[in-house]
Amino acid sequence: MLKAIQILGSSSGSVSSRFRKPQQNSGLSLISTRKSIGTINIKTDSLLLPASHYKGRFRMSSTHSQSNPDGPSSSQPSFSSVAAIQSTGNIRKVNFCQFCGGSTKHEIPDGEEKVRAICTRCGKIIYENPKMVVGCLIEHDKKILMCRRKIQPSYGLWTLPAGYMEIGESAAEGAIRETLEEANAEVEVQSPFAQLDIPLIGQTYMIFLAKLKTPHFSPGPESSECRLYELDDIPFDSLAFSSMLVTLKLYIEDIKVGRPKFHYGIINKRPGTSPSEIHAYTLDYHMQS
């Protein structure tokens, strides 16, 4: 996605409620570890990013440290709204109905439990849902293709090609499209590799293993550099997002012991940490198939 300007939406209170609602807390406690390989604590020793990466016109709130892998260019007019995002994960309220233009009220609809934006004119209830980010972990000659970001957030840092899944495409199609856009690389998707939920920012990453169709790649408009990295040389001290850190660590662990598996996990940010601290997450409820 060349210029994605996606603002996470939530009805009032819905994001932070996960930390206080007994129902949702009990949900977490219900998750078994029978097939789990346990919680992974992300290493913190070398992954603290300089705050200078986030200075300038793009004030990064703690909910947007990686909420926008295909962040907007500075020319886009609506990115200032990102600054309105609160550290709880809540963001700008939905004030108007998208369909009739009526103003909204924020209350709990009959039979529901959460506060929602409700149109006072047509009665529509506005539901806000997590967004999927799709991308490729591209293997070539035992190396991994990575892109250096030429846009904010995380300008100058390294990532796997990834971006928001669009209406009308599948996750695999989206991952292929993003790779073409960011690395001018044509790939074949091989298998699903990881689903990583980041509840605080309302995102789910879906990463596929992929192969280059031809050994050709070059930076797309959002990348300053694309490069194949040996596993031992991956720039772990200058990665753009914790989702990529987790993905690459899981991949390397899999390769060490055999072949890649499919991983599910929840990336929870440690309370009180800055968005630039990509190490400040834990991977919880890690399960693999």
Site for its own copies in 238-267 (CB under 8 A): 260-262, 264, 266
Binding of residue 193 to its own copies (CB under 8 A): yes
Least distance (Å) between residue 168 CB and its own copies: 4
* CA–CA gap between residue 31 and residue 60 (Å, rounded): 32
> What is the number of other CB atoms lying within 10 angstroms of the CB of residue 145?
23
Our CB check for its own copies shows the closer of 16 and 238 to be: 16
Helical segments of the chain, H only = 22-29, 171-183, 242-257
Show contacts with its own copies in window 87-126 (CB under 8 A).
89, 92, 94-101, 103, 109-114, 119, 122-126
Decide: 164 and 129 in contact? Cβ < 8 Å: no
Binding of residue 187 to its own copies (CB under 8 A): yes
Six token digits for residue 266? 């929840």
> Stretches 53-61, 142-150, 162-170, 270-278: which one binds its own copies (CB under 8 A)?
162-170
Backbone angles phi, psi at 216, to 5 degrees: -110, 130
Show contacts with its own copies in window 221-240 (CB under 8 A).
221
Show contacts with its own copies in window 52-91 (CB under 8 A).
73, 75-78, 81, 89
Helical segments of 9-121, H only = 22-29
Binding of residue 132 to its own copies (CB under 8 A): yes
Least distance (Å) between residue 238 CB and its own copies: 26
Binding of residue 20 to its own copies (CB under 8 A): no
Helical segments of 94-162, H only = none
Binding of residue 214 to its own copies (CB under 8 A): no
> Stretches 43-51, 226-234, 245-253, 281-289: which one binds its own copies (CB under 8 A)?
281-289
Decide: 42 and 249 in contact? Cβ < 8 Å: yes
Six token digits for residue 186? 């044509």
